[in-house]
Amino acid sequence: MRFYIETLGCQMNVLDSELAASALIRSGLTPAKDKFDADVILFNTCSVRQHAEDKVYSALGRLKVWKDKKPCSVLGVIGCMAQKEQKNIFHRVPFVDFVLGPGSLDALAETVHQLLDEKVSGSRQAKKIVTALNRKGSLHSDLVESYRLYNPDRTQNTAERQSNRETAHPALIRIMFGCNQFCSYCIVPYVRGPEQSRMPEEIIAEVQSLVRQGVSKITFIGQTVNSYIYRDGGKTVKLADLLYEASKITGLEEIDFVTGYPKGVDETLLQAVRDLPKVLKHFHIPAQSGSDNVLKRMNRHYTAAEYRELTDRIYSVIPNSSLTSDFIVGFCGETDEEFEKTVDLVKYCRFRNSFIFKYSVREGTKSAEIYEDDVSEAVKKYRNNRLLEVQKQGACQS
């Protein structure tokens, strides 16, 4: 039996697809080169903007022919949309067999095999939903337990990556799960669950094992990677400590980390980045807006002046560092004056690159509940293009 995984969304999903592929290979399935040759197709999905969800629904719709031709096949939706949409997916695409959220990946192989067996034996075929608890209305301890940390062996894929080393991307290592920031526009805390930092020994052992298999570049990933904190008795381990530990590994050449949050970038972290030759002098720290009013409505806990000070601090400690950022334009109530403040910030900070997104309402988030999406599509588009232009003109080349 062959499987195919289509991945959308951020690096969290890229990593999850890699882990899922490994688990499926270990369970006896083979990767299919072509999607339509597969017996099992999985969509690893993203919910961050409406457009990302629309893309999945239309791609799923196009699989009807494949599904009709292969009655014993299994179609699954995994990733953030699975957690957010749950049974809505079956309503919109009735031939989907299961949905399984990012906190339940450890149950993936078993779920796929159960469904394949049911299909082959012709027994009753029930749709399956495997998700973590909903963040709203659940007890914190139950919630944490329901988002199960998932770090299985991924030897099989690493071997593949190794055969392709020239073009290989850095290996992704998750150091923390979830997010506790609750930016008012963002669905991530609801679909990825509460913040949980992984045990440092486990992270370093994973890096060592990957390096033994030929990996030379790694990226530590987390939604707010600089809030990584692991407490064990009297000992506290932070991101800077992980960078020092990983740097000691012979054979490892390059270390990067994403995504940063503008609060809590402390001196120790800056010094670690400055002093450790293996660590890239790069910070991806999304500002989102340059207007204090908008930042307040977004529930980001800093002002534009504080963000500027942060970039000043980074450039003064590490003059050759490169900064990248994300921005949302057309957030609820954003006036021309407020948008101009974002333009000013982009001009000031000399980002190497900025990723610019038009605000997209996410049902279930605070901003969807309390604000109106009152900036027209035309204005969002104009501001998006304008900011891109400003970014291009002011881009720092380092």
Binding site for ligand SAH (CB under 6 A): 48-49, 185-186, 188, 223-224, 259, 261, 286, 288, 326, 328, 357, 359-360, 362
Of 190-209, binders to ligand F3S (CB under 6 A) are 191-192
By CB under 6 A, residue 258 contacts ligand SF4? no
Given candidates 179, 269, 273, 314, which one binds ligand SF4 under the rule CB under 6 A?
A: 179
CA–CA dist 10, 353 (Å, integer):
17
Q: Which is nearer to ligand SAH, 135 or 161 (CB)?
A: 135
**Chain centre distance of CA 299:** 20
Binding-site size, ligand SF4 (CB under 6 A)? 10
From ligand SF4, ligand SAH, ligand F3S, none, which one binds at residue 21 (CB under 5 to 8 Å depending on kind)?
Answer: none
The β-bridge relationship of strands 235-238 and 196-197 is unpaired
Which residue number, 76 or 79, has a Cβ lying nearer to ligand SAH?
79
Closest CB to ligand SAH among residues 25, 356: 356
Q: Which stretch binds ligand F3S (CB under 6 A): 41-49, 263-271, 295-303, 373-381?
A: 41-49
Q: Is 48 in the site for ligand F3S (CB under 6 A)?
A: yes
Query: Quick check: bond before 268 cis, omega within 30?
Result: no
H helices present in 93-238, as ranges: 108-121, 140-146, 155-162, 188-192, 200-212
**Interaction of residue 261 with ligand SF4, rule CB under 6 A:** yes
Kindly tell me which of 161 and 383 has the beta carbon lying closer to ligand SAH: 383
Give Dmax (Cα) for the chain: 67
Which residue, 47 or 104, is less far from ligand F3S as judged by CB? 47
Nearer to ligand F3S among residue 48 and residue 243 (C-beta): 48
**Neighbour count for residue 319 (Cβ, 10 Å):** 10
Residue 258 interaction partner, one of ligand SAH, ligand F3S, ligand SF4, none, beta carbon < 5-8 Å per kind: none
Binding track, positions 57-96, relative to ligand F3S; x by CB under 6 A: ----------------------xx----------------
Which partner from the list ligand SAH, ligand SF4, ligand F3S, none does 182 bind, CB cut-off 5 to 8 Å by kind?
Answer: ligand SF4
Query: Does 182 help bind ligand SF4 (rule: CB under 6 A)?
Result: yes
- Residue 49 binds which entry of ligand SAH, ligand SF4, ligand F3S, none, with Cβ cut-offs from 5 to 8 Å by kind? ligand SAH
| Distance (Å, whole) CA 341 – CA 323 | 19
368 touches ligand F3S by CB under 6 A: no
> Residue 218's beta-bridge partner residues?
171, 255
**Whole-number Å distance between alpha carbons of 90 and 339:** 40
Report, in Å, the least distance between residue 316 CB and ligand SF4.
25
Closest by CA position to 210, among listed 247, 163, 166, 162? 162
Burial 208-229 (b: 16+ CB within 10 A, else e): bebbeeebebbbbbbbbbbbbe
Q: Which entry of ligand SF4, ligand SAH, ligand F3S, none binds 74, CB below 5 to 8 A by partner kind?
A: none
Element (H, E) at 336: helix 336-349
Q: Indicate the residue type of 317.
A: V
DSSP states of 206-250 as a string? HHHHHHHTT--EEEEE-TTGGG-EEEETTEEEEHHHHHHHHHTST
Q: Do residues 217 and 210 touch, judged by C-beta distance below 8 A?
A: no
User: Is 12 a binder of ligand F3S (CB under 6 A)?
Assistant: yes
Binding site for ligand F3S (CB under 6 A): 9-10, 12-13, 46-48, 79-80, 187-188, 191-192
